[in-house]
Amino acid sequence: MFTHIIFDLDGTLLNTIDDLTDAGNHVCAAHGWPTHTVDQFKRMVGNGIPNLVSRFTPNGLNEDELAGALAEFSAYYGEHKEDKTAPYAGIPELLATLKQQGKHLAVLSNKAHALAGPVVEHYFPGIFEYVQGALPDAPLKPDPTLLHALMKSIGAKPETTLFVGDSDVDVLTGKNGGLTVVGVLWGFRDRQELESAGADYVIEKPEELLGKPSAKGQGWRTAVCTVCWLLAAVFAICEAYCLVSWGCLHREIAEIGYGFVMQHYPSLADQYLTARALSLYVAVPLAFTLAPAIYLTRKLRKGEKRREHAASDQT
C-alpha cells in the first residue's frame, strides 16, 4: 500500500509553461535574440532554471552573459510567475481526496527552492507536508540526493512511496530512488518519452491515480496483439488447407507411385509439389505472427494483474 506520494511541480501539478515562456521570450526580445514557441519551451524545461536559460539563449554566450540572462529571467519570472499559471484540471480534487485518505504528500522540483515553496503554498495551501526545490549545493533531478533527503524528512520508505511526474527526468528520479513511478500525459512530455524512461504506469487524467492507472504500452500492445492474432488465424486457416491438400495428394500418389505419376500425370504431380511448397511458405508468416501474439497476450495478462494489485495498493 502506498502511504507517501511525491509529486513533481511544473507540468504535473501546475501548468506553468505560459509564464515560463513569457519570461524567457521577454529576455530574448530585450536582447534581440530569437524567441520560442510554447511547444519549444516544453522541450527545454525540466532540468532547472539555469539549464532552461542556457537553452533558450543563443549558443556562444560567455558565462557573464548567461549569468545576466539568468538574472533578468529570474527577476521577470519572479514578478509574473502567477500571471497565467494554474493547477491542471482535476489536480485540486485529486489532492483533496488523497489527503482525506491519509496519504502523505510532498513535492520535489527542480525549480529553485526559494520559489517552489511559496508557489506550492499559494496554489495548494496546507496540502503538502514538505516541498523541496533545487539547492545551489545539491545536484538536480534525476540525481536522487534531494529525493532521499525529502523521503527521510517525511518518513517515507521506497516500497510504499509513489513518484508522479511528467518527464523523463521525473521518471529517472523515481527509478534512481527505487520508487514506483507514474508518468502523467497532461504535462510537457509525451507517452513515448515516459515509457522509454521506464515509467511503471502512464495516466491521462489525474483521477486515474485513484483507480487503475494504464500500464505503459497498454494501448499499442493491445492493438498489435489483436492484429497478430487475426493474421495468425488467417495464416492458420491457409496452412490447414495446404496441409490437408498435401496429405490427400500424398496418399493418392503413394497408392499410384510417384514415378508413375510424374510420367503420366504431371498436373497431379504439380498440384502435390505446389501444396507442399505452400504449406512450407505459409508456416513462416504463421510463426512470425503467432509468436508475438502469444508473447503480447502474456504481457497483457501480467500487466492486468499488476494494475489490479497497484489499484488495491493505491486505494
231 burial level (CB within 10 Å; 0-12, 13-18, 19+): middle
- Residue 13 confidence class, pLDDT cut points 50, 70, 90: very high
- Residue 315 confidence class, pLDDT cut points 50, 70, 90: very low
Which of 43-57, 64-78, 285-299 has the least mean pLDDT?
285-299
Q: How high is the pLDDT of residue 95?
A: 97
At residue 310, does pLDDT exceed 60?
no
Quick one: which of 294, 291, 292, 282 has its CA closest to 236? Answer: 282
Q: What is the pLDDT of residues 144-194, one digit of tens each?
A: 999 999 999 999 999 999 999 999 999 999 999 999 999 999 999 999 999
- Residue 302 confidence class, pLDDT cut points 50, 70, 90: low
Q: How high is the pLDDT of residue 313?
A: 44
Q: How high is the pLDDT of residue 223?
A: 81
Q: How high is the pLDDT of residue 304?
A: 60
At residue 77, does pLDDT exceed 60?
yes
Cα 124 → chain centroid: 26
Q: What is the mean pLDDT of the chain?
A: 88
Beta carbons of 187 and 87 less than 8 angstroms apart: no
- Residue 214 confidence class, pLDDT cut points 50, 70, 90: very low
**Integer Rg of the chain from CA:** 29
The residue ranking higher by pLDDT, 152 or 314, is 152
Quick one: which of 208, 211, 169, 206 has its CA closest to 13? Answer: 206
227 burial level (CB within 10 Å; 0-12, 13-18, 19+): middle
- Residue 309 confidence class, pLDDT cut points 50, 70, 90: very low
Residues forming a β-bridge with 182: 164, 201
Q: What is the pLDDT of residues 189-211, one digit of tens each?
A: 999 999 999 999 999 999 999 97
Average pLDDT over residues 26-55: 94
Beta carbons of 159 and 2 less than 8 angstroms apart: no
At residue 23, does pLDDT exceed 70?
yes
DSSP the chain: ---EEEE-SBTTTEE-HHHHHHHHHHHHHHHT-----HHHHHHH-SS-HHHHHHHHSPTT--HHHHHHHHHHHHHHHHHHTTSS-EEPTTHHHHHHHHHHTT-EEEEEEEEEHHHHHHHHHHHSTTT-SEEEEE-TTSPPTTSSHHHHHHHHHHT--GGGEEEEESSHHHHHHHHHTT-EEEEESSSSS-HHHHHHHT-SEEESSGGGGGS-PEETTHHHHHHHHHHHHHHHHHHHHHHHHHHHHHHHHHHHHHHH-HHHHHHH-HHHHHHHHHHHHHHHHHHHHHHHHHHHHHHHHHHHHHHHHHHHHHHHHH-
Average pLDDT over residues 53-60: 95
Beta carbons of 11 and 167 less than 8 angstroms apart: yes
pTM of the predicted protein model: 0.66
Q: How high is the pLDDT of residue 161?
A: 96
At residue 261, does pLDDT exceed 80?
no
The percent of residues above 70 in pLDDT, for the chain, comes to 92
Which of 12-26, 45-59, 159-173, 221-235 has the least mean pLDDT?
221-235
Cα 287 → chain centroid: 31
The percent of residues above 90 in pLDDT, for the chain, comes to 66
Q: How high is the pLDDT of residue 85?
A: 95
